[in-house]
């Protein structure tokens, strides 16, 4: 049997191979291809053992081959070369071996993703399709390294909860696309999702809501089923360890001082009790921005210090150097009405309510810094003055990120107009619960994280980029898949590959490579949006969304 992905040694059919993200260089090898068989060894130099374990688990399962431990210069050979950049790799195929070399184990792991792609879409299944199937690696040399060090996806599990196994699956999908940051949005008005042993009511009360709005908040439809869920501390440890094995950093988000109604419902004393009767609040069942925010008290600070002490233990520094403290969409109305808040403004000597929010963020910036971590927050943390060591997730557009970078702060670019994957993918009437501007696969491919006109020094503060997945209208894994894919594949190439300016990018060539990539997504069971539009089962007729017309503004 001739493998479907076999490539003659004098040519490289990039469309047939369909490598995504596109590597820096892909050239024909002098010899090869290399067949995999029962006797193929897998040799791992010191420091690459984890990658070897992953290869045996994934390729071993789908090929049925043992990939037994080797010690020579044949078979699949994993090595390190400190001359390479940390996530850079070189994959070279010849008649005797597939040689995979990385600057670090992370680089070797990124190369292992390319090796899997080279074996064809069936390599993304979990078991062999046929006992007599033969496998070979086409004769190529791939030299590659990422453009950005931060290539991420944010997943909101507060609005709609994804069970632990679905989170682990998404870590595998990030790894398959060479993404390396998982921003874990764990708390919000609609639910608290992480067990904190010191404060058990956060999950006993704060993780459950009585019902859920179905569709956009203007919809008249409700799902009356009580809804909720949370991750135990052991679940979190498992998720973090699973991510670390795939060289993915996890950024936990604990949102303060806004987006806190679930927190206040569990512990009413944390709210503005001199303005509202917080004992009457419930975990929010609607979407949007709740007016109920944290009170600016020392008790609130001590409470969240207690939360963070457990968070830091669950998310160790080597996997989670950054902790996201939210800081976005914090209505100031209750603070304006609160005598306690107004007295706090006077006591602290800050100008106004924005200064009060800055006080929250500055406190936890210093607290985290003392413990060897860095605070990152949404771009509203710029208001009232940014804490010295804080980094910014620029979501309302490029503007906040530009201001932060020019002021010497590190920035992750994630403008909602470009890379919010809850926004609709097409303007047709069959899109399920259509939200926001049309952001097609091509739009995602032409996204540019570094805005024009940024000074060279400021551009060095752009850590990278991430796509954000807000789940108000995504009730389950299938809906998340539909919104995320295939656009995450285009985003991954933007984050990894050295692409030309947006208008000059060869989308037709990318789209041709997507033919092979759709087959990989099929093998992985990803319920992506088909190029021709949604299947009937993916549509949600009659459920109100919030589409916005025209091209999104660049702000």
Phi/psi at 389 (5° precision): -95, 5
What are the beta bridge partners of residue 250?
Answer: 182
What is the spatial distance between Cα 183 and Cα 493, in angstroms, rounded to a whole number? 19
Whether 415 and 395 have beta carbons less than 8 Å apart is answered as: yes
What is the spatial distance between Cα 294 and Cα 267, in angstroms, rounded to a whole number? 11
| Helix locations, 119-212, DSSP H | 164-176, 201-204
Which pLDDT value is given to residue 4? Answer: 39
What is the spatial distance between Cα 356 and Cα 301, in angstroms, rounded to a whole number? 13
- 98, HSE (Cβ side, Cα atoms, 13 Å): 27
- The SS3 of residue 151 is strand
Interstrand relation of 411-413 and 391-394 (parallel, antiparallel or unpaired): parallel
How long a stretch of residues is the chain?
555
What are the beta bridge partners of residue 213?
Answer: 222
What is the spatial distance between Cα 465 and Cα 451, in angstroms, rounded to a whole number? 12
List, as own/partner pairs, every contact residues 103-106 make where C-beta atoms lie below 8 angstroms and the sequence separation is at least 24, other chains included.
103/145, 104/47, 104/80, 105/47, 105/48, 105/50, 105/51, 105/80, 105/247, 106/180, 106/247
Residues annotated as catalytic (active site), given as ranges:
188, 259, 329
CB within 8 A of 429, min separation 6: which ones?
none
Element (H, E) at 55: helix 49-63
Which pLDDT value is given to residue 6? Answer: 42
What is the spatial distance between Cα 61 and Cα 449, in angstroms, rounded to a whole number? 37
List, as own/partner pairs, every contact residues 58-62 make where C-beta atoms lie below 8 angstroms and the sequence separation is at least 24, other chains included.
58/116, 58/123, 59/115, 59/116, 59/119, 59/123, 61/126, 61/127, 62/122, 62/123, 62/124, 62/125, 62/126, 62/127, 62/128
CB within 8 A of 547, min separation 6: which ones?
424, 427, 431, 434, 435, 436
**In terms of pTM, does the model score above 0.85?**
yes
**DSSP state, 137?**
E
Phi/psi at 181 (5° precision): -135, 130
Dihedral of the alpha carbons of 119, 124, 126, 132, in degrees to the nearest 10: -30
Which pLDDT value is given to residue 11? Answer: 57
CB within 8 A of 178, min separation 6: which ones?
21, 110, 113, 146, 151, 492, 496
Which residue ranges in the chain fall short of pLDDT 70?
A: 1-12
């Amino acid at each position: 049997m001739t493998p479907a992905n076999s490539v003659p040694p004098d040519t490289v059919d990039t469309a047939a191979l369909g490598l995504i993200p596109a590597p820096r260089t892909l050239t024909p090898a002098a010899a090869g291809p290399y067949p995999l068989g029962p006797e193929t060894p897998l040799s791992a130099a010191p420091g690459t053992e984890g990658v070897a374990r992953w290869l045996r688990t994934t390729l071993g399962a789908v090929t049925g081959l043992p990939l037994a431990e080797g010690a020579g210069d044949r078979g699949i050979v994993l090595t390190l070369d400190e001359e390479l950049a940390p996530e850079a790799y070189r994959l070279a195929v010849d008649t005797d071996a597939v040689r995979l070399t990385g600057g670090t184990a992370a680089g070797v792991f990124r190369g292992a993703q390319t090796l899997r792609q080279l074996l064809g879409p069936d390599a993304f299944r979990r078991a062999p399709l046929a006992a007599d199937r033969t496998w070979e690696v086409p004769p190529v040399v791939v030299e590659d390294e990422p453009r950005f060090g931060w290539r991420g996806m944010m997943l909101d599990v507060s609005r709609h909860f994804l069970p632990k196994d679905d989170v682990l699956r998404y870590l595998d999908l990030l790894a398959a696309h060479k993404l390396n940051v998982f921003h874990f949005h764990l708390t919000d008005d609609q639910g608290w999702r992480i067990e904190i042993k010191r404060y058990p009511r956060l999950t006993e009360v704060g993780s459950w809501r009585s019902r859920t709005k179905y569709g956009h908040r203007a919809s008249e439809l409700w799902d009356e089923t009580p809804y909720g869920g949370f991750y135990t501390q052991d679940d979190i440890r498992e998720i973090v360890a699973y991510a670390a094995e795939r060289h993915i950093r996890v950024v936990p988000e604990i949102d303060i001082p806004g987006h806190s109604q679930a927190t206040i419902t569990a512990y009413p004393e944390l709210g503005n009790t001199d303005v509202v009767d917080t004992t009457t609040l419930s975990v929010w069942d609607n979407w949007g921005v709740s007016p109920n925010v944290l009170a600016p008290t020392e008790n609130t600070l001590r409470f969240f210090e207690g939360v963070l002490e457990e968070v830091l233990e669950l998310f160790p520094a080597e996997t989670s150097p950054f902790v996201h403290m939210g800081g976005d969409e914090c209505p100031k109305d209750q603070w304006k009405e609160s005598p306690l808040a107004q007295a706090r403004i006077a006591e602290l000597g800050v100008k106004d309510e924005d200064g009060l929010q800055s006080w929250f963020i500055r406190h936890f910036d210093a607290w985290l810094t003392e413990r060897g971590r860095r605070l990152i927050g949404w771009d509203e943390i710029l208001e009232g003055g940014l804490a010295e060591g804080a980094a910014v997730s620029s979501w309302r557009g490029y503007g906040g990120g530009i201001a932060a970078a020019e002021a010497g702060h590190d920035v992750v670019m994630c403008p909602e107009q470009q890379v919010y994957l809850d926004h609709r993918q097409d303007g047709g009437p069959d899109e399920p619960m259509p939200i926001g501007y049309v952001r097609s696969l091509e739009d995602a491919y032409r996204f540019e994280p570094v805005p024009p006109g940024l000074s060279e020094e400021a551009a060095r503060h752009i850590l990278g980029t991430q796509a954000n997945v807000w789940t108000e209208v995504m009730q389950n894994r299938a809906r998340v898949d539909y919104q995320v894919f295939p656009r995450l594949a285009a985003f991954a190439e933007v984050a990894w590959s050295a692409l030309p300016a947006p208008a000059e990018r060869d989308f037709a060539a990318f789209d041709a490579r997507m033919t092979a990539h759709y087959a990989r997504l099929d093998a992985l069971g990803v319920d992506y949006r088909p190029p021709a539009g949604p299947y009937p089962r993916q549509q949600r007729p009659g459920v109100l969304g919030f589409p916005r017309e025209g091209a999104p503004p660049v702000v």
